[in-house]
Amino acid sequence: MLLSAKNRLRRHRFWMTLLLLLGGIYVLASVPLCPHGKQAPPVVLLYQHSAAALEVGAAKAEILVPHWPVTVAGYGPVRANAVEQTLPLYARALVVKSGDLALSLLSLDVLLVSEAFVGEIRQHAGEVLVVPVHSHSSIGGFDARWQVQLAAMGRFDEAQYQAVLKACLQAIEEARQKLQPAQFAWEETTLENWTRPRSGDRVDARLLRLRWEGEHAPIAQIVVLSAHPTLVQASAAQLNPDFPGELALLEEKAGRGVTLVWPSAVANARVALPEATPQSFAQKLHEHLQALWPSNAEADLANPKETPKARQSAEHPAVPLEIHHARIRFALPAIDTSRLVPQLLRGPANNLLCQGIPAHAELSVLRLGDLPLVAVPFEVSAQAALALEEAGLGRTLSIANNYLGYLETPGNVEERAGESKLQYFDKTLLQQVIWAAQARPFEGVSKE
């Protein structure tokens, strides 16, 4: 009987010790350690402005897969390994030069990029704006952040990192070698019922095209639209750039110049066409762009209802294109996992998530003539993009130069609605972005 009592006492001590140990670990893990949420004014890291003669060059370089199999990026830990590719993956570069202003605009047939990756491009090739197409069926393994490896990209592979980097640098260098005088133009149209909201009740249904024309032929264009590139099955064992890559190839074959495809308010926009494939959706977009391709000014004036909203420097060739570009650093608000985990785990989850996420981020603002663009490192919802436009910041470019989750409106964050469960930061994130973007030092541009 005495021995049994001693055994019960030992077991009791063991479980008490274990509970105290786990409690201590929980308390320590819950102590706020994240450096985020400290108020600081935005800082303009770089500003370029020019109204001199415009020169543009464009090129593309294939991302040569270093070995097979490779991870297919875009989905959670159970992800496919690709043993082949259905289409080549490209880095496409458009180099813009005007006086002392020099800027490379890149489109990448990948899911996302990191700030460190973009920083390395800048070290070798100067100022750049990198906007991935956000294909969920492209090459993974080239982002070293553990959160990204776990959530979407797979285990980091230095060879894959170097392959993507090499393609970017090669495309920029070849584009620089092709610089030539150019005229800039842009058009905007609407894709009625082509997409639907994954959450909420609206999507950005507009398509924006920026184009640069040489003396004898088109040089390049950028197509901006909101549609999540998830038309390839998640289990597919082939790399595929999804509809952006298919569209770019169709447009280039049609003689429209090197074609970059950039995501706008992509967070909650899904392709709505029945049984859509990357090929069928790209073909439909291609036909839509063909119908919009300008023939001559007289034809446009004769059919005003069929002509998209357009502004272009070519309308007034004597007036040079005025370009503004700024890169701005801003403080990120507090990490907030309240929409991801139960309240009991919120403290440890905040601490875990913030590891590897710096307390500051960067955005870019670009103005080409009277066309303003704001490029942010988030997947932006339609409602958040509308708020950015209402603040006077222009059209949104998503996941530019980095990836830091989603961007929703404060109201949706408070109500846990829309895409807010995938926003890593508290409800003040959108206002922080607006405040930062309004720090642009553009001459004659309101800083509301």
Convert the pLDDT of each residue in 98-135 to its tens digit.
999 999 999 999 999 999 999 999 999 999 999 999 99
Burial zone of 336 (CB within 10 Å; 0-12 exposed, 13-18 middle, 19+ buried)? buried
DSSP β-ladder status, 395-397 and 43-50:
unpaired
Do residues 385 and 333 share a domain?
Answer: yes
Is residue 75 situated within a structural domain?
yes
**294 and 417 within one domain:** no
Q: Are 362 and 396 in contact (CB under 8 A)?
A: no
Residue 77 lies inside a defined structural domain of this protein: yes
Assign 77 to helix, strand or coil: coil
Query: What is the b/e burial string over 113-126, where b = at least 16 CB atoms within 10 angstroms of the residue's CB?
Result: bbbebbeebeeebe
**Using 50, 70 and 90 to split pLDDT, how confident is the model at 435?**
very high
Give me the residues paired with residue 145 across strands: none
Query: What is the rounded average pLDDT for all residues in the chain?
Result: 89
DSSP tag of 254: T
Domain boundary among 255, 277, 310: 310
264 and 121 co-located in one domain: yes
Chain centroid to CA 41: how far? Answer: 24
Judge whether 206 lies within some domain. yes
Q: What are the backbone dihedrals phi and psi of residue 25, each rounded to the nearest 5 degrees, phi first?
A: -60, -45
- Which of 8-22, 137-151, 195-209 bottoms out in mean pLDDT, i.e. has the lowest? 8-22
Same structural domain, 101 and 163: yes
pLDDT bin (cut points 50, 70, 90) of residue 232 is: very high
CA distance 15 to 201: 52
Mean pLDDT lowest for which of 53-57, 311-315, 389-393?
311-315
Whether 172 is covered by a domain: the verdict is: yes
Among 327, 442, 401, 403, smallest CA distance to 42 is for 327
Helix, strand or coil, per DSSP, at residue 59? strand
Residues 304 and 372 in one domain: no
Furthest-apart CA atoms within the chain: distance in Å: 106
Q: Which domain holds residue 261?
A: 54-310
Q: Say yes or no: 132 and 229 in one domain.
A: yes
Amino acid letter, residue 400: A
More confident: 443 or 37: 37
Same domain, 264 and 335: no
What confidence score (pLDDT) does residue 3 get? 52
Looking at the structure, tell me whether residues 296 and 386 fall in a common domain. no
Report yes or no on 445 lying in a domain.
no
Structure tokens at 100: 């002392």
Which residue carries 């003669």 as its tokens? Answer: 53
224 and 92 in a common domain:
yes
Asked whether the predicted pLDDT for residue 444 surpasses 70, the reply is: no
Q: Which of 281, 310, 339 is the last residue of a domain?
A: 310
Residue 292 within a domain: yes
pLDDT (tens digit per residue) in 165-213: 999 999 999 999 999 999 999 999 999 899 999 999 999 999 999 999 9
Answer yes or no: do 305 and 399 share one domain: no
- The verdict on residue 14 lying in a domain is no
Of 283, 310, 337, the position where a domain reaches its end is 310
Looking at the structure of the chain, the number of domains it has is 2
Confidence of residue 342 (pLDDT cuts 50, 70, 90): confident
Q: Is residue 25 part of a domain?
A: no
What is the enclosing helix (H) or strand (E) of 372? strand 371-375
Residue 4 clears pLDDT 90, i.e. is over it = no
377 with 423, same domain: the answer is: yes
Give the pairing type, strands 218-225 and 258-263: parallel
pLDDT single digits (tens) 44-68: 999 999 999 999 999 999 999 999 9
pLDDT(318) > 90: no
Q: Across residues 338-350, what is the average pLDDT?
A: 84
Q: Are residues 288 and 153 in the same domain?
A: yes
